[in-house]
Amino acid sequence: MNISVIGSGHVGLVTGACFADLGHQVLMVDHDRKKIAALKAGKMPFYEPGLEELVHRGVEEDRLRFTTSTAEGVRHGTIIFLCVGTPARPNGEADLTAVEEVVRDVAQAVREYRLIVEKSTVPVQTGEWIARICRGSVRRGVACDVASNPEFLREGQGLQDFLHPDRIVLGVESKRAKELLLALYKPLNAPAVVTDVKSAELIKHASNSFLAMKISFINSVAQICERVGADVMQVAEGMGLDRRIGRAFLDAGVGYGGYCFGKDVAAFTQIAEKLGIDFQLLKATARVNAEQRQRLVKRVEEALWNLNRKTIAVLGLSFKPDTDDLRDAPSIDIIRSLRQEGAVIRAFDPQAMAQAKALLPGVTFCKSAYEAVRGADCLILMTEWNEFKELEFARIKKLMRQPLVVDGRNLYQPKTLQQLGFRYIGVGRGEPWDQR
């Protein structure tokens, strides 16, 4: 099948490369000339495990091409995926300027049947607006369908999530659109939820908001655990075995970050507000998440007495492992707050340091975890990269000025570190009964 994907950001590029790998003919469209030139030269605009190989294979086997021309994209693809950005406005609402502009360009270039599919996360009723633009701009007698096919890709696991999804959501308004999309996804052999466009749009916002709510819920439970001396990891385990609840997204920590959850919770809250609904659960989700970052700063301060002139090693900067993405990363807020209190920061991240340098002036960026902890009064584990799982803590203890570990992801066994002589502070891991 011929497919065009407009927007070569995280969602667009993973989608395009994966469809090409399934055997479809894919044309990637982006108005950013530099990005397209880099992609043609085989360079990826961001880090995503396995993506580079997939793109190279698609290009070599002539199933994946790149262009800056939307008109060429419309000529090529019977199905046109919209994967352009929907950033947040200052009030949290999604900014749909890019979507509107692209849809106008697409509609004007349509000469025969085309299926326009929203894949970016958009507010409910965006599909109606797209259809309205198409009705006004597409030539008379030419049929055009609009569909919603939200993505559920996690950064760092994008390929795996695309190729082995829990479900595919197809919001369609015609038999033709439904059949085209079902045929496109057939090789994945995944359960499909076929519904109307508005319900599909809502499934995406509701899913991300629900996952964010789970995280804020367990982070609130973690606070109770700290006060009474219980272990939030055990609580999550016990809750998660109940199939109605599930264990996923019950990891307490420094809170969620990234491009999606913060933006989508805010946008969903705004959508509700516009409809006259006060979605308090979502407001609380966002508030708990913001407080969680400051709570970590407070715990470091309590442990060190004063932050002024204390050296703090931060391991991990990206909002989660296996990505170089720093958008809304908890590390940024936390490091800025620590620096405001006079702390000196030494940081290391396996992938995100190049971007971090611009965002975090005054931070010393180190070549390894061991270099970062040299002379530090505290080690903060911010992102649970694999390479931080098996650190040599005996060596680290010798390098640090004070043996203090603040584990923002509950990655380590408190007992193991305590036996090595560290003071260990996790999230929601209260002191055991006999040590209180």
Just list the catalytic residues.
Answer: 260
At residue 94, the 3 state secondary structure works out as: strand
Nearest distance from C-beta of residue 160 to ligand UGA, angstroms: 12
Residue 265 is a binding residue for ligand UGA (CB under 6 A): no
Examine residue 258 and tell whether it contacts ligand UGA (CB under 6 A). Answer: yes
Residue 257 interacting with ligand UGA (CB under 6 A): yes
- Residue number, 48 or 377, with CB nearest to ligand UGA: 48
Position 166, amino acid: D
Residue with Cβ nearer ligand UGA (256 or 424): 256
Nearer to ligand UGA, 151 or 377 (CB): 151
Q: How far is the CB of 320 from ligand UGA (least distance, A)?
A: 4
> To the nearest whole angstrom, how small is the minimum distance from the Cβ of residue 2 to ligand UGA?
25
- Site size toward ligand UGA, by CB under 6 A: 21
By three-state DSSP, how is residue 161 classified?
Answer: helix
In 3-state terms, what secondary structure has residue 217?
Answer: helix
Residues 6+ apart with CB under 8 A from 255: 215, 216, 219, 288, 289, 290, 292, 293, 330
Q: Tell me how far, at minimum, the Cβ of 427 lies from ligand UGA, in Å.
A: 9
Among 129, 185, 210, 249, binds ligand UGA (CB under 6 A): 249
Query: In terms of CB distance, is 46 or 129 closer to ligand UGA?
Result: 46
320 binds ligand UGA (CB under 6 A): yes
Helices 232-240 and 197-228, packing angle to 10 deg? 140
149 binds ligand UGA (CB under 6 A): no
Q: In the complex, what is the shortest distance from the CB of residue 86 to ligand UGA, in angstroms, rounded to a whole number?
A: 10
Fill in the DSSP letter of residue 153. Answer: P
Closer CB to ligand UGA, residue 158 or residue 430? 158
Nearer to ligand UGA, 197 or 211 (CB): 211
Instruction: Annotate 14-42 with DSSP letters as a single string.
Output: HHHHHHHHTT-EEEEE-S-HHHHHHHHTT
6 vs 13: CA distance, rounded Å: 9
Closest separation between CB of residue 308 and ligand UGA, Å?
A: 29
Report helix angle 330-340 to 280-304, nearest 10: 40
Q: Candidates 61-69, 101-109, 127-135, 207-215: pick the segment binding ligand UGA (CB under 6 A).
A: 207-215
Long-range Cβ pairs for the range 270-274 (8 Å, 24+)? 270/91, 270/92, 270/93, 270/94, 270/123, 271/123, 271/124, 271/205
Residues forming beta bridges with residue 314, ordered by sequence position: 347, 380
For ligand UGA, what does the binding mask look like between residues 364 and 383, x meaning CB under 6 A?
--------------------
Strand order in the sheet with 364-365: 364-365, 344-348, 311-315, 378-381, 404-407, 423-425
- Give the rounded distance of the alpha carbon of 189 from its chain centre: 25
Q: Which residues of this chain interact with ligand UGA, rule CB under 6 A?
A: 121, 151-155, 208, 211, 215, 249-251, 253, 255-258, 260-261, 319-320
